[in-house]
Amino acid sequence: MDKKYSAYLCTGCGIGDVVDIEALSGVVSSEMGMECKTHQALCSADGRALIEGDINENGVNTVIVGACSPRVMQDEFTFGDDKITVRANLREQVAWSNPPDADKEYVQEQASDYMRMACTQAKKSELPDPYLLETVNKRILVMGGGIAGLTAAKEAAAAGYEVTLVEKSDILGGKAVNWRHSFPTKAPWTDMETPIVNDLIQAVQDADKITVKTGTEVARTSGAPGNYNVTFKGAGTKSDWDAPAKVGVDEQDAIDKGTMEDPNVGLQHYMKDNPDGEKFGAVIMATGWTPADVSEYEHLGAGKFQNVLTNAEFEKIAGQGKIVRPSDGKPVESVAFVQSPGGSEHDRDFPYCNSVTSLVALKQAQYVREDNPNGKAYILYQHMRTPGNMELFYKAAQNDDGIFMTKANVMKIEESADGSLSVAAEDTLLNENLNLNVDMVVLAAGMVPTTKDANVVNLAYRQGPALSDLDLFDGYADSHFICFPYETRRTGVYACGGVRKATTVDETIDDATGAALKAIQCFESADRGVSVHPRSGDKTYPEFFMQRCTQCKRCTEECPFGAIDDDEKGTPLPNPTRCRRCGTCMGACPERIIGFKDYNVDMIGSMVKSIEVPDDDEDKLRFVAFVCENDAYPAIDMAAMRRLGINNLVRIIPVRCLGSVNMVWIKDAMSAGMDGAILLGCQYGDDYQCHFVKGSELADKRMVNIAETMGSLGLEVERVAVKQVAINEYHKIPEIINGFVEEIIDLGPNPFKGF
């Protein structure tokens, strides 16, 4: 579009007290060539009327607002989809981050640079044309017929959408069909309840919008949100498209013949050979969990003694009637519930144990008491977890005279000739050893998600059939556990119930409802051509200048969400509805051919170059900070709100993710005389907090190349740093940023200054 610019400076919230507004307006009008107006409160009705008047009467369509942080007052400074608005953060990052005695000249230079960058950003921004599919399919595929899957299907159908529910067994209900009781879901939180699974099954079978396929599994899933192509197979059968995670010599011949897919190539073969799959807009994984293998604990008799069972096996027996011993059918009078492997594993629970397995032990102990008024149940644990209202359920069991609970280290279980079991335990709360004689022992096998060792969705994606990097989450299908529940690393595929985390029935229902809403949101967003979380509503998407593509495959390999496939030559094949707009592909591309309409390599590079770098004053060093918009940028704002103080030699540029930072920005900044550059992003590693999963980690890895570049320029490696900060660690901001500045001051100015 033909742009007509106008900039507006707010004098409120302390901005006018620390900045010479008239001089700042002069910078905008003289250097940037834009008309500039001021107002005491641009966010007020009068302030907005000033801007709208210029839009309606003077044809202004590109607005630059120098006021508060772009994280606030978003409605007040939005003027329609056909207008570009860019905001300079003069309040938090100038007025509120400087102490009262700050040097006025330094503060003025800081404000001027922020306006220069904002005006440059406006000049380099274009209005996006949203990516729209020709046809958006709004059917939902639900995988799994347990409580999670049944609930997700029921809720999605209630919202008016067609659903296909696929269950690999011949009946619906999952593990819940074997339950005798379920946990309490209402006050007084002490009484077990009748399982709701049969009611859910009936509701699903009665729903006109739900198609049920039992004895069926997903063979392959291709496509993207709004346009998935899914083929099915009989449960337990093999498919030509059950590709291994790694392709070996034996498989390569099959690939060459076109009968098996290489996970790294082959999407085109799949689409050609499987054109008749069913179409869906989104997928909900509700495939549940399997009991953890406890056979390795030989001292507990698992798999050796008939009357040593897992909690899942015990529940199945209890659900069929009165509890009897597997060895001889004798009614059970005493049971030991062992929550921890003991022995050399002292003070540890079984793998994948959690609060649910603790609650299961409490529930099953009550079964023993139900069946026999004189029955005895012993719960031997290292950790008893009963969160929230479930503490009342725990206390009710404590008050039962026939239920005994103690922290204990189970050392050995032995079997008598009649099948009875002897349980030896030590380190109890009673400070004495125990030797219990019981009819049965129940081991608290944990809940292993089905995605741990299986490619449940069988994706026909460039990055392979699995959900990618599940080892980060112990196999659980999740993208960002705290901020974005139900989302997986594959946009359009949502997880709920035991495949996402260990859940009670109440939590499973909430989970499934949330996943259904996420699925609906996903294809409805695709229908509007906008992104899903975390950049919800974003109309931009990565555009590729393919003429310069070298087929290096870095974009396809580094995309956290598998949004890019490639053809046989390695040319990228973008799938915009899979994309979450993080820009990691842009940061990865060595040829700089990937960008967004309002966020690209040229734009950020030009913003860096617009910063005025004094070359005649050793006290006026300049630093650029590329700051993640999700955690680090809000933390900086919060630090400013608390007047914690940030060095005014630093210029902050928000980025979508550190993964989007193209290292050419740092090279250009150093070449232009910048004295230092810092990348500030989310935590990564086991306790990662990155909204795009691995952006900070990628940025850290890319610093190896920067170190080489700095060396070739004859500059100290210390002039560039990557730091992590959580959104609530605003108190660390001054230490991180100011500390970095002080380190560079000790090194002295960049020798390229003035060239």
pLDDT at 262 over 50: no
Q: How far apart are CA 259 and CA 254, in angstroms?
A: 5
440-to-85, 421, 667 alpha-carbon distances in Å: 70, 7, 69
Sheet with 403-407, edge to edge strand ranges: 308-310, 440-443, 334-338, 376-381, 403-407
pLDDT at 252 over 90: no
* Cα 95 → chain centroid: 34
Share of residues in the chain with pLDDT > 70 (%): 94
* Cα 694 → chain centroid: 10
pLDDT at 493 over 80: yes
Beta bridge partners of 310: 443
Find where tokens 């039992």 sit. Answer: 214
The pLDDT tens digits for 500-548 are 999 999 999 999 999 999 999 999 999 999 999 889 999 999 999 999 9
696-to-270, 680, 684, 701, 705 alpha-carbon distances in Å: 34, 8, 6, 9, 15
The pLDDT tens digits for 207-220 are 999 999 999 999 99
Tokens of 450: 């089905």
677-to-123, 157, 286, 666, 732 alpha-carbon distances in Å: 24, 52, 45, 7, 18
In this structure, are strands 289-291 and 421-426 parallel, antiparallel, or unpaired?
A: unpaired
347-to-292, 353, 429, 736 alpha-carbon distances in Å: 18, 13, 13, 38
Least confident of 55-59, 294-298, 374-378, 638-642: 294-298
Find where tokens 């509007």 sit. Answer: 528
pLDDT at 254 over 60: no
228 SS3 class: strand
Q: How far apart are CA 447 and CA 224, in angstroms?
A: 30
| pLDDT of the residue at 152 | 98
Which residues, 6 or more positions from 497, have their beta carbon under 8 angstroms from its beta carbon? 144, 146, 147, 148, 149, 286, 288, 503, 508, 511, 512
* pLDDT bracket for residue 267 (50, 70, 90): very low
Structural domains of the chain ordered from first start? 1-127 (3.40.50), 140-288+450-528 (3.50.50.60), 298-441 (3.50.50.60), 543-595 (3.30.70.20), 599-755 (3.40.50)
Strands (E), 358-485: 376-381, 403-407, 409-415, 421-426, 434-438, 440-443, 447-449
| pLDDT of the residue at 321 | 93
CB 66 within 8 A of CB 9: yes
The pLDDT tens digits for 670-707 are 988 999 999 999 988 777 788 898 888 999 888 888 88
* Cα 497 → chain centroid: 16
CB 308 within 8 A of CB 301: yes
* pLDDT bracket for residue 666 (50, 70, 90): very high
- DSSP assigned state of 596: B
* pLDDT bracket for residue 261 (50, 70, 90): very low
* Cα 491 → chain centroid: 11
End-to-end CA distance of the chain: 36
Highest mean pLDDT among 269-273, 402-406, 748-752: 402-406
CB 352 within 8 A of CB 293: no
| pLDDT of the residue at 255 | 36
Beta bridge partners of 651: 624
pLDDT at 256 over 70: no
The pLDDT tens digits for 602-625 are 999 999 999 999 887 778 899 999
3-state secondary structure 244-262: CCCCCHHHHHHHHCCCCCC
* pLDDT bracket for residue 559 (50, 70, 90): very high
pLDDT at 268 over 50: no
pLDDT at 571 over 90: yes
CB 287 within 8 A of CB 508: no
The pLDDT tens digits for 450-488 are 998 888 999 999 999 988 776 667 888 876 666 778 889
The pLDDT tens digits for 14-41 are 999 999 999 999 999 999 999 999 999 9
| pLDDT of the residue at 468 | 73
Tokens of 84: 């570009």
Q: How far apart are CA 568 and CA 264, in angstroms?
A: 10
| pLDDT of the residue at 9 | 98
> Considering all CA atoms of the chain, what is the largest pairwise distance in Å, rounded to the nearest integer?
98
